[in-house]
Structure 1
Amino acid sequence: MEHPVHKLLEWYQRNRRDLPWRRTKDAYAILVSETMLQQTQVDTVIPYFRRFMTEYPTVGALARADQEAVVKHWQGLGYYSRARRLHSAAQMVVDEFDGRVPSSLEQIRQLPGVGAYTAGAVLSIAYDLPTPAIDGNVLRVMARYLGVREPVRQASVLCLIEDTMQSWIQLVSPGEFTQAVMELGALVCTPRNAACLVCPLVDSCYAHDLGEVDVIPAKTEKKARRKANVGALWIEKNGSILVERRKPSGLLAGMWQLPAVEYNGSEDVTSHLHPLLEELYTEGGQPSVEESTAPYLVPMATERHLFSHVEWSVTVYRPVGLTLDLGVAQASTDRMWCSLADLEKLAWPRVYEKLLERLIGERVKI
């Protein structure tokens, strides 16, 4: 009787998508693609991957690049810490591994941002080593195939799936196997409405035999997103806008935005933006925005954005009635005046991209 892994690979050869990172065995290119594909859909990644590889065709080119330029090329993909870790990983490859992405599990796991899944994907696809790559999609496929009703992150379930994957990957080309399981999870064994009738593993799939494909793997409660409002200031002078860099760690670390504060929805935005204005506008080092002369904040545009753990509602306000010259607004290491023409050189979070596109229209491409 034909082993199911052979059926899987026969199906893969007939149905595999022609993706740009499947046209190479270059470990660097595969590392880039796998980093981009973390929490991002394939169709979204394709144009970013092509542009990124054109700009940084080798690990050395990426290592030599300015990190802010790297993040700018990542703009729109989200989860920007991935770009910074990838840049750091490239520098480590050049400095410590003679410019070659390591082919051992111990060494590749030393690279920033490379966890067990990414390591398995690079080692199996680029170097054809029998190191399984197990992510959420693979866990779903194998949990259904094995008929496991328990949560897939449970230690005993992980161990069972890892053992099965390890035994299967020994029987065929590791790189082909890794991509075949990924493809099955993407095209057939999907989270909802799985296409069991065309699945190469259907004859030996326990979840299908039990009629439990829709309930395996066990669903886990998702933590509700925290909701937060963000008030941002549009302060302009002589064709330039005051912008600020976010903190070097945390959400959207190091990216640029309009001067802003985050606050709870039940709070009054003026109680947060007026102190920010006091900080921005100083005379002789002392706050100069008095309560009696505080400006009226005119809302200009609002955009919502969903992160994995928080939902933002960002509103841009223009201060009107400020008695001081706008030229008094202070720039610092993390704040500066930026001309409209230079806005596109900065790395902006997607929500601010959309806001700027609305506020300045076709004048500037962000």
Structure 2
Amino acid sequence: MVLRVVQWATGGVGVAAIRAIAEHPELELVGCWVHSTDKAGRDVGELIGAEPLGVTATDSIDDILALAADAVVYAPLMANPDEVAALLASGKNVVTPVGWVYPSERSSAALRAAALEGNATLHGTGIAPGGISEKFPLLFSAMSTGVTFVRAEEFSDLRTYDAPDVVRHVMGFGNTPDNALSGPMQKLLDAGFIQAVRMCTDRLGFAADPKVRATQEIAVAAAPITDTPIGTIEPGQVAGRRFVWDALVGDEVVVRVAVNWLMGEKNLDPAWTFGAEGQRYEMEFRGNPDFTVTIKGFQSEAGEDGPESGVVATAAHCVNSIPAVCAAAPGIATYLDLPLISGTAAPSLARS
């Protein structure tokens, strides 16, 4: 049975999700919500630079709610819980990379009620948070016993992130340190990464303090940095950010999730670098045995063309989750509630 899917929003993740839905053997795109009135009324294939798909984009939530669809890939820049509740109550399963990876009962009560009303399921996924920050660490932890410490860390060069408004006004690059530290980024990241840390501590069984410690550091430009998506970053302006979330048992850190965002490795103060391994996602485990897992390929190098691999991976994780989410019990389903999720064979290599 083919599942009928709606794509919500056509940013980088949304475009990649539409392409992934089109080649998934169990899915069919039947609707698409867009924020811009300029995109409404146009064929979705045209919006993503492909052949017509026979699906017309709409900027009306009522149109989407009225559609007979099994699932929605909900991928706006920022989540609106009221929109998600309406989608769930209308009977549509929701898979999203913008929240609810491991929500508390209290924070998700209204969405859980909407899901039960619509006999639908909400699942938060993605890449980090939503994969490398909790799902993969838990998976790899099975290779060790007596675990004492787990770390999941991102090292990314933001010169490839072609979203200047987000980079400057949300992420705080090019601002003064005081403005960046008081800006929205810490709060926005806390919402997802604290859930990631708590999923790890709960599943691994650490007697961790319920409060996750969040810290951040900033590097500024020591000289002009010109090759950025926001133009030149002048000396003294923010050119690097590091966020860390720690779970502690007493004074001992047992789970750490960290993000390192740099505008390249030159002219930074302090002189931060990615180290010899360059851009990567890295997971470290201490137990019996100790080991480290490094994942490369999700971050583009400066100067490369094409979509960021991590954006495509985020969309793929959402799309590949749809069949399992549609089969799950109504409510909110985390990775701990779902079976193994995998990709599918390329159409040219798939069984007929």
Please classify the TM superposition score into its range, dividing by the shorter chain length.
Answer: under 0.3
TM-score by length of 1: 0.22
Structure whose residues are more often strand by fraction: 2
Higher share of residues assigned helix: 1
Q: TM-score, normalised by structure 2?
A: 0.22
Task: Flag the structure with larger Rg.
Answer: 1
